[in-house]
């Protein structure tokens, strides 16, 4: 998430009541998670295991829970609770604004787009031309939809990320201030749920077609001309490259990549990144031919055993 106007290190430190290391006028342009940070961004880290990754990332301000040597050209914000203060910054620059109308007056809707009854369109949504939004579709704030997009009934775009930190008294949620972006010629089936990015975008590439009852987690990027069948669950921060086919009831772990042109057969658990151009099956995932051979060998072995 980029700020509307750049801030200084001192301004952000004052906002969260945190000491800092670096030039008070050090410029900060946004706040982002580690996988989407750019120069000028704040990133947070609250576990020693990830200190080095955060300090060496593209982020130039690190919100951290321990004073450490500051890398050259960067700055530090020292916080007792970086998770809490990351939320505080996100909420200050992008607060939730309740809608007072079914279709926000701030929404931009292109020529030829059809909006069926009971559709909700939130603040600052942009919808392109010649789209079809069927009954009971819900589009949260700041969603961007291209041209020639069809969204079937009861689909929800822009719900919060499933991202929590365990506390002694329960769970704290990391606020979601990112967006959902659908490119041109995307079709979404009925009752799909596409979560917004925490600070970045959850993106569905041009020409991709998604069946009914598919879930896409926060900050996931799906490429162009993909096919995803019903009851698939895609976790957060997944990259699905162009022309991937995913059949029904597939589930993925977070943070993995599925290569261009891969085919994932039904009921597969995608437990790791896989190269493109191949067919995969099973849990744990492996190439479909190898998995089927394994299953045949197990069947022969069991058939040949003497049961006593």
Q: Is the dihedral of CA 102, 114, 197, 215 positive or negative?
A: positive
Cis peptide before 284 (omega within 30 of 0): yes
In the residue annotation, 215 being an active-site residue is answered as no
Pull the structure tokens for residue 270: 């995608």
| pLDDT above 70 as % of the chain | 99
- If asked whether residues 236 and 139 sit together in one domain, one would say yes
Whether 254 and 141 share a structural domain: yes
- Tens-place pLDDT, residues 202-225: 999 999 999 999 999 999 999 999
Instruction: Establish if 295 belongs to a structural domain.
Output: no
Specify whether 126 is located in the same domain as 84.
no
Distances (CA, A) of 196 to 29, 137, 217, 289: 21, 15, 8, 36
Are 142 and 267 members of one domain?
Answer: yes
Residue 246 lies in a domain: yes
Same domain, 134 and 40: no
State whether 285 and 167 are in the same domain: yes
Q: Does residue 296 lie in a domain region?
A: no
| 124 and 171 fall within a common domain | yes
Same domain, 127 and 45: no
CATH code for position 38: 3.40.1390.10
- Domain boundary, last residue among 70, 93, 116: 93
Residue range 230-248: average pLDDT? 98
Residues 166 and 232 both lie in one domain: yes
Check which CATH number belongs to the domain holding 174 and give it.
2.160.10.10
Q: Domain limits at 203?
A: 108-290
Tell me the pLDDT tens digit for each residue of 261-286: 999 999 999 999 999 999 999 998 99
Which one is catalytic: 134, 152, 215, 218?
A: 218
Is 39 inside a domain boundary? yes
Please check whether residue 167 lies inside any domain of the structure.
yes
Task: Flag whether pLDDT at 307 surpasses 70.
Answer: no
Give the 3-state secondary structure of residue 240: strand
Q: Encode pLDDT of 8-61 as tens digits.
A: 999 999 999 999 999 999 999 999 999 899 999 999 999 999 999 999 999 999
Residue 84 is predicted with a pLDDT of: 97
């Amino acid at each position: 998430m980029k700020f509307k106007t750049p801030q200084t290190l001192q301004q952000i430190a004052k906002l969260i009541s945190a000491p800092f290391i670096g030039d008070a006028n050090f410029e900060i342009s946004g706040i982002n998670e580690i996988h989407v940070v750019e120069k000028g961004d704040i990133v947070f880290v609250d576990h020693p295991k990830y200190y080095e990754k955060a300090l060496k990332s593209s982020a130039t301000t690190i919100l951290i829970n321990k004073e450490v040597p500051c890398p050259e050209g960067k700055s530090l914000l020292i916080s007792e609770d970086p998770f809490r203060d990351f939320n505080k910054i996100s909420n200050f620059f992008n607060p939730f604004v309740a809608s007072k109308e079914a279709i926000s007056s701030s929404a931009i809707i292109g020529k030829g787009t059809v909006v069926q009854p009971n559709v909700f369109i939130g603040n600052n949504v942009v919808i392109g031309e010649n789209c079809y939004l069927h009954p009971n579709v819900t589009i949260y704030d700041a969603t961007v939809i291209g041209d020639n997009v069809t969204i079937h009934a009861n689909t929800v775009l822009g719900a919060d990320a499933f991202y929590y930190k365990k506390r002694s008294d329960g769970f704290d949620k990391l606020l979601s201030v990112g967006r959902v972006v659908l490119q041109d010629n995307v079709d979404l089936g009925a009752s799909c749920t596409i979560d917004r990015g925490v600070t970045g975008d959850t993106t569905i590439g041009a020409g991709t077609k998604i069946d009914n009852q598919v879930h896409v987690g926060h900050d996931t990027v799906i490429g162009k001309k993909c096919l995803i069948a019903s009851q698939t669950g895609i976790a957060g921060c997944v990259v699905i490259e162009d022309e991937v086919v995913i059949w029904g009831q597939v589930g993925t772990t977070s943070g993995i990549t599925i290569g261009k042109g891969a085919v994932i057969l039904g009921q597969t658990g995608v437990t790791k990144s896989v190269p493109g151009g191949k067919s995969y099956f099973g849990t744990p995932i492996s190439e479909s031919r190898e998995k089927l051979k394994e299953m045949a060998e197990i069947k022969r072995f069991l058939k040949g055993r003497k049961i006593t």
